[in-house]
Amino acid sequence: MLELSPTELLQELKPIFYPESIAIVGVSTSRPNAASGWVSGLVHAGFLGSIYPVNPRGGEMLGLKIYPNLTAIPGHVDYAIISIPRQIVPRILEECAAKKVKFAHFFTAGYSELGDTTSRSLEIEMIQKARQGGFHIIGPNGAGSYCPESKIPYAPTGLMGESGTVSFLTQSGGIGNTFIGSGIARGIKFSKGISFGNGVDLDGTDLLRYLGADPKTSIIGAYFEGAGNGRQLLNAMREVSKAKPIVMLKGGRTEVGSTVVKSHTGSLAVSSAIWSTALKQAGAIEVRTIEELVDTLLIFQQLGRWHGRNIAIASGFAGGGGGIAVAAGDICSEAGLTVPQLSSQTLEKLTKILGLVGSILHNPVDVSQADSKPATLEEAFEAILSDPVIDMLIIQEDIGILLVQSTKEDVDTINSSLINLKNKYNKPIVIVMPPSINEPERLQTEHQLAQGSIPVFPSMERAARAISRLSQYSGPDASYRG
């Protein structure tokens, strides 16, 4: 672990995410490969710094000169992406030292994850050469840096998205790719991220401390398979989680998973029970799937620190909602959320708006008697939000049924009114919108709501779990943050 203060750490690691120049070693003009994908991604993303492709044969790529080696590059190199066979790595390390590269990211695999002494010896040699050369190593066996603000896409995939306040660190490059893709689709806006692979030099502790100090990061997601020094990592989590939520997905929780972990990043597995206990003590929020990771980060991004307690549920936005209301109440209660009765004044308002026949008005509320009319629905939702007992409103909106009963214009009107009501009462609204045969319209509606800071979930179960985690971290009875 780097023995630096938060301010020093921000300055030391800044070129990882804000480099003025990037060299990409291992490009090819004859066939597509990962290094060439990085060059293409940086060019098309509009990276404003200098881009230096490297291959001994030279040539040109996308209007850029290809240099035969790192030392032939005329300008300085902040960050080098290296995607070459491992037998060439020692020579490249010497070039990094000679060129005074600040950070060398090795996409190259074939090190301690193989489990043999030769591969581990190569890692030790890498560390020694980096120390002697005065530069840091990221990886090997990782996808490296990602920063939309700097126009650095993720890996050779070119994934970018909008710049925001959610950051992440992951040992697995593939998990990072899936996570970013899902996050962008759901409306998550990323500040930065990094896949550090085997972490032979800079590891998860260093990078977590950096994100903890980073003023442009408000929420941190993480995927770990293990840690070289678990105590240091947990101490860092304990400090960072006091100011920023850390949402953690652990790989290798089962016997099968732990076996795969050893051959993936060479990490030592820790039992699920020990890991869960340690995370809780450190104030981190544990999740079990990538979907839960995205759900939890999304709700923190959209709702911030929610200090409420009481949930109102509205079902029957389109179609019958009685049975759905009952099921929703059960799901939220089982997730530890409080679903209180509405006040007598609110019940009186809803009776006037919706009538008594066929209506459930106590909470959950069945609003199907509104017949999907925008004005009536808005009036009913406003009555619920104005109840002083209620801190949040969850609405079940089935776009497939809604589009049968209403026009697309009516749907847009209803959702615009929800954004206005959220702002008027300063109470969060969460939408549960299941997948539909009208998927393009559903995605368009989800995007519209996301832009208005209303998170959308595909099921009540996933929404309830995410809200529960938000409440446990931020709410009046917060159980995270030790």
CB 179 within 8 A of CB 221: yes
**Domains of the chain in sequence order:** 6-138 (3.40.50.720), 144-302 (3.40.50.261), 305-474 (3.40.50.261)
- Is residue 1 classed exposed, middle or buried when 0-12, 13-18 and 19+ CB atoms within 10 A define those classes? middle
What is the chain's pLDDT, residue by residue, as a tens digit (482 residues)? 788 999 999 999 999 999 999 999 999 998 889 999 999 999 999 998 999 999 999 999 999 999 999 999 999 999 999 999 888 898 999 999 999 999 999 997 666 666 667 777 888 889 999 999 999 999 999 999 999 999 999 999 899 999 999 999 999 999 999 999 999 999 999 999 999 999 999 999 999 999 999 999 999 999 998 776 788 999 999 999 999 999 999 985 444 444 444 444 444 455 678 888 889 999 999 999 999 999 999 999 999 988 888 999 998 776 555 667 778 888 998 988 999 999 999 999 999 998 875 567 789 998 888 887 899 999 999 999 999 999 999 999 988 888 888 888 988 999 999 999 999 999 999 999 998 888 899 999 999 999 999 999 999 999 999 999 999 887 556 666 54
421: part of which helix (H) or strand (E)?
helix 408-425
Q: Which residues contact 48 (CB under 8 A, 6 or more apart)?
A: 150, 151
Strand partners, 287: 249
CB 385 within 8 A of CB 350: no
Q: What is the pTM of this model?
A: 0.91
Chain mean position to CA 156:
19
d(CA 7, CA 12): 9
Give just the sign of the alpha carbon dihedral 277, 280, 281, 284: positive
Cis-peptide into 140, omega within 30 deg: yes
d(CA 312, CA 346): 12
d(CA 68, CA 2): 33
Strand partners, 106: 82
